[in-house]
Amino acid sequence: MKALIWVLRVVVFIALLGLAIKNSASVDLHFFFDQHVGLPLSLALLGAFAAGAAVGVTAAVASLVRQWREIKRLKRDTKME
């Protein structure tokens, strides 16, 4: 089973590496106040993916903390009774 997982990881890595190589053209990212940055397309996509993942993890952590506090409050309330 471990060998199958490693084979899958290698296949995904090779596919993503090929995607990065094929999308190495430079793109301009324009920001406010006439600022712009030239990046390879694959790096721009990686940055967008990382930013989206960070927002998703932040939202998940906020929800988990809220649930953790609710569980803690409910446990405290049941011990008092």
Domain ranges of the chain: 2-80
Mean pLDDT of 20-27: 80
d(CA 52, CA 26): 22
pLDDT surpassing 80 at residue 80? no
Mean pLDDT of 13-31: 83
Q: Are 27 and 37 in contact (CB under 8 A)?
A: no
Mean pLDDT of 39-64: 89
d(CA 74, CA 81): 11
Neighbouring-strand partners of residue 37: 29
Mean pLDDT of 47-76: 91
How sure is the predictor about 78, in pLDDT bands with cuts at 50, 70 and 90?
confident
Residues sharing a CB contact under 8 Å with residue 19, sequence separation 6 or more, in sequence order: 42
pLDDT > 70: percent of the chain: 98
